Amino acid sequence: MTDHPVLELSDVMRAYPGRTAVDGASFALPSGGITCLLGPSGSGKSTLLRLIAGLEPVDAGEIRIRGQTVAAPAMTAAPEHRGVGLVFQDNALFPHLNVSANVGFGLAAMAANTRRARVAALLDRFHIAHLADAWPHMLSGGEQQRVAIARALARAPSLLLLDEPFSGLDGHLRDAVRDALLADLRAAGTSVLIVTHDPEEAMMIADNLILMAAGRIVQTGRPEDCYHQPVSIAAARLLGDVAVIDAVVTNGIADTALGAIQADGIPDGAATLAVRPGAIVASSTGVTATVSATRFAGHHYIVEAFAADQYFTIQLPGKPPANGEQMTLAIRHDAHALIVRDGD
């Protein structure tokens, strides 16, 4: 990645009658990396992608690609003039064109020899040269996806936009196709923005995350930072379960029903503490809890337990107590936590 952003959004807004889909979105996308735009359904992710691609106008704000303004209330550059490739969830291959013709569709202005060479290079890069004469209906889901991405990259765009690209694939196929495709894109130095609603996938594949909820960007940064240092409880919940615990802060220590944790820089008084399930552990000392539900999750068990007038979710490596049995819970003193002063 380079220090110069390939994409910049400043206070971008898009509204429809009765609702605002994108509300003041601002962020910069590093060049040459893979960024995931993560949020629940209806958060405005796909609308934001359409604004960047030029499929819809912005109502306010500005979008810049490679430093050039491509969208503002008074102007909108056409999609073909933005230097952006876009792949939708359904891949949308042309059924009447074979693989080679699909990949070369946007290269009609090139000389024939140059176009053939460009298509051949893309087919080789994405390991689909053997499918050059195949028709879309003959391809697997993973093969269709490779063709769609090769077509999107044919005109060497500055930025590739992928809208839920792996959600239509199953299990191991999804993982294999995703990992191979992203390895190819990284090797080529392609700047990629991927929309997803899967936090685990986003953290696995992204160099950077953009977290979105209710039309707003709530946090940006590296996956590790967003996970361990969320800026709000809402941001924390976008990346997985959190336990929200009442606390009282005194001299840099937050006391909770499950024990104490460092609270450096937090003023004294009542506060709310949010931690990941892994921060709450079974312990010989702590608070007595009653197990209400257990689920097997492969490498661990997910346990719901009731203590101190609330339910907690924890992860246990071994077999948990049965429903109705008791256990002792404590918070790890070194746990990452978000601490919010009540009233802030």
Band the pLDDT of 276: cuts 50, 70, 90: confident
Query: What are the two backbone dihedrals, phi and then psi, of residue 63, each rounded to the nearest 5 degrees?
Result: -120, 130
**Given a cut of 60, is residue 307 above it in pLDDT?**
yes
Question: Are 316 and 232 in a shared domain?
Answer: no
Residue 185 sits in the same domain as residue 271: no
CB-count burial class (<10 Å; 0-12, 13-18, 19+) for 253: middle
128-155 tens-digit pLDDT: 999 999 999 999 888 888 899 899 888 8
Q: Residue range 69-83: average pLDDT? A: 94
Same domain, 224 and 98: yes
Question: 35: domain range?
Answer: 2-238
DSSP-assigned letter for residue 112: H
Sheet hosting strand 280-296, strand order edge to edge: 310-316, 301-307, 280-296, 326-331
The pLDDT value given to residue 146: 87
Q: What is the mean pLDDT of residues 174-190?
A: 84
pLDDT of 226 higher than 60: yes
Global pTM reads 0.86
* Helix H or strand E encompassing 307: strand 301-307
Indicate if 25 and 127 belong to the same structural domain: yes
Q: Are residues 281 and 133 in the same domain?
A: no
Mean pLDDT, the chain, rounded, equals 91
DSSP state of 263: -
- pLDDT score of 81 more than 70: yes
- Amino acid identity of residue 132, one-letter, is A
Considering the domain architecture, whether residues 288 and 196 belong to the same structural domain is answered as no
What's the rounded Cα separation, in Å, for the pair 336 and 338? 7
Please check the confidence at residue 98 and state whether its pLDDT lies above 90.
Answer: yes
Contact 302, 294 (CB under 8 A): yes
Last residue within a domain, chosen from 238, 256, 282: 238
Q: What is the DSSP annotation of 6-73?
A: EEEEEEEEEEETTEEEEEEEEEEEEETSEEEEE--TTSSHHHHHHHHHTSS--SEEEEEETTEEEEET
Tokens of residue 91, six digits: 């891949």
CATH code of the domain containing 126? 3.40.50.300
In this prediction, residues 26-54 reach a mean pLDDT of: 94
10 and 126 both lie in a single domain: yes
